[in-house]
């Protein structure tokens, strides 16, 4: 038995002893952070003694259970308790299953939204990391960098389609994870995501011809790799499904509740919520692009704003207008001194944020993940793992990333840097966009990327990261 397992075993045995031993345990399960005991005699445990056990962060009595707060190693401690007490292993339960429902508050609205988004996206991290590695292998070994494998080879094509699959099917995967957040049917959530990606709908969108749902005009939208449409759709579906579950008699509920739920959601998803991000994105992006037409300090500020907001626009799928403007500038004049400057700085800022978070996070596993995100972004050009695994999960690093992107874009604009190459990657090679002009242009372009990276790293480190350890400690203070 290694030292780590020995520590878990010692913690488990001490907890089991202090709750009255296995003979006092009717059953035991766990959630994301707590052991949840159903005890025969709740008067046996002494909270003060249990809290002194090494590895215990706090205790709580709720819902007829005796709960022991462990934190992120709860799985390991639970396994040792089951083995040490010869107890029956149970399935984990949802976190805060017995917590009182929070009342709506405008003050907490932003935090609530971010928590729901983080809860929906954080489970995607293993998939994103795996997909990112394959995309990184294609980028590094393919024709864009080392040219070890040809673009026509089966191996390169395998790396590409496996990497792309992890992002293309976002609506289906998030349909599942967000349904668990909003406490509605995960299968119906996945079904809504599948509808958005159905090949027949894709053909309708690609054809560009008008189409309607129940006579309501449908906005032609490509939902691949999108996040916001499915999040909004599952949130609304949670209310629709609950309505039909309450109103339809139990004898026919299994058939009609899901059918009617989907029937109602179709126009809501495809005609309203789905295109919503596009509409909002048009106004935001056109507003920023207007700065570029004003000239002077307004243009400088516009580039800095793109650097600060680019990744937020990408996450919400609102950046398409920016991309169109970027391509138009290149096609008309062969260069771009506005959109690309901010976009490149933003990409470098994501990697800088990952480094800053890695330096600040104490937990070895989370630190390792943050460093993995750094490699995925800086080398592989895949920013999603860092965005969802650091920025959205911990919230505060988002600010550091935006500061870095703002500063990098600001420097590029002040020095009148110009992008001459439309580079289709977000890794360090994006800095080659400045190749084609003078040596000073290349140098200033690279410096802008370095500034974005360093400032984002420093800002993220200084602002701090609310880690799982912090969450566990705050939980302890509440329960004590």
Q: What is the CA radius of gyration of the chain?
A: 26
Q: Work out the burial of residue 73: count CB atoms within 10 Å of its CB; fewer than 13 is exposed, 13-18 middle, 19 or more buried.
A: middle
Residue 72, strand partner residues? none
Write the CA distances from 14 to 80, 128, 139, integer angstroms.
11, 38, 51
Catalytic residue among 31, 271, 285, 407: 31
- Distance separating alpha carbons of residues 300 and 453, to the nearest angstrom: 19
Contacts by residues 83-90 (CB-CB < 8 Å, ≥ 24 positions apart): 83/12, 84/9, 84/12, 84/13, 84/16, 84/22, 85/16, 85/21, 85/22, 85/25, 85/28, 86/22, 87/22, 87/25, 87/27, 87/28, 88/27, 90/27, 90/28, 90/29
The DSSP code sequence of 14-59 is HHHHHTT-GGGEEEEEE-SSEEEEEES-TTS--HHHHHTSTT--EE
* Structure tokens given for 137: 């292998």
DSSP string, 162-222: HHHHHHHTHHHHHHHHHHHHTTS-HHHHHHHHHHHH-HHHHHHHHHT---EETTEEPP---
Angle, alpha carbons 368-168-402 (nearest 5°):
50
Record the tokens describing residue 232, joined without a space.
């909004």
Give dist(CA 340, CA 362) in Å, integer: 35
**What H or E segment, with its residue span, contains residue 392?**
helix 392-394
H or E stretch covering 127 = helix 125-141
Q: Between the CA of residue 202 and those of 63, 207, 215, what are the distances in Å?
A: 48, 9, 19
As a whole number of angstroms, the distance between CA 453 and CA 403 comes to 10
- CA separation, residue 25 to residues 29, 47, 78, 480 (Å): 11, 16, 13, 23
Told to judge if 31 belongs to the known catalytic residues of this protein, a careful annotator would answer: yes
Q: Which residues are the active-site residues? A: 31
């Amino acid at each position: 038995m290694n030292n780590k397992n020995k520590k878990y075993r010692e913690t488990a045995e001490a907890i089991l002893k202090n709750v009255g031993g296995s003979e006092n345990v009717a059953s035991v399960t766990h959630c994301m952070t707590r052991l949840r005991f159903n005890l025969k005699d709740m008067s046996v445990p002494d909270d003060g003694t249990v809290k002194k056990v090494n590895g215990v962060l706090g205790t709580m009595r709720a819902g007829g259970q005796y709960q022991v707060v462990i934190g992120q190693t709860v799985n390991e401690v639970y396994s040792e308790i089951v083995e040490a007490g010869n107890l029956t292993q149970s399935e984990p339960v949802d976190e805060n299953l017995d917590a009182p429902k929070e009342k709506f508050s405008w003050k907490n609205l932003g935090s609530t939204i971010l928590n729901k988004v983080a809860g929906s996206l954080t489970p995607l991290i293993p998939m994103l990391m795996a997909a990112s590695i394959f995309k990184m292998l294609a980028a590094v070994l393919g024709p864009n960098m080392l040219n070890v494998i040809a673009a026509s080879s089966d191996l390169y094509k395998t790396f590409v389609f496996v990497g792309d699959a992890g992002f293309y099917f976002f609506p289906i995967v998030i349909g599942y994870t967000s349904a668990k957040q909003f406490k509605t049917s995960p299968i119906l959530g996945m079904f809504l995501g599948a509808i958005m990606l159905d090949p027949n709908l894709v053909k309708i969108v690609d054809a560009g011809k008008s189409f309607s749902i129940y006579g309501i005009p449908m906005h032609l939208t490509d939902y691949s790799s999108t996040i916001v449409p499915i999040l909004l759709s599952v949130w609304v579906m949670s209310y629709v499904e609950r309505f039909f579950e309450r109103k339809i008699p139990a004898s026919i509920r299994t058939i009609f509740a899901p059918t009617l739920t989907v029937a109602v959601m179709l126009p809501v998803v495809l005609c309203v919520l789905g295109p919503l991000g596009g509409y909002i994105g048009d106004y935001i992006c056109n507003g920023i692009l207007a700065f570029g037409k004003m000239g002077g300090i307004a243009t400088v500020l516009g580039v800095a704003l793109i650097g600060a907001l680019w990744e937020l626009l990408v996450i919400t799928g609102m950046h398409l207008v920016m991309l169109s403007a970027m391509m138009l500038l290149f096609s008309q004049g062969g260069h771009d001194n506005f959109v690309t400057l901010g976009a490149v700085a933003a990409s470098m800022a994501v990697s800088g944020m990952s480094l800053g978070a890695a330096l600040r996070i104490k937990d070895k596993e989370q630190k390792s993940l943050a460093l993995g995100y750094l490699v995925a972004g800086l080398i592989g050009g895949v920013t999603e793992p860092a965005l969802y695994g650091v920025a959205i999960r911990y919230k505060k690093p988002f600010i550091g990333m935006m500061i870095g992107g703002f500063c990098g874009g600001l420097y590029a604009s002040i020095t009148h840097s110009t992008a001459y190459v439309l580079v289709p990657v977000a890794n360090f090679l994006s800095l080659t966009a400045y190749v084609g002009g003078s040596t000073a242009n290349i140098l200033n372009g690279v410096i802008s990327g370095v500034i974005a990276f360093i400032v984002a790293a420093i800002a993220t480190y200084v602002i701090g990261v609310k880690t799982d350890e912090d969450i566990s400690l705050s939980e302890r203070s509440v329960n004590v």
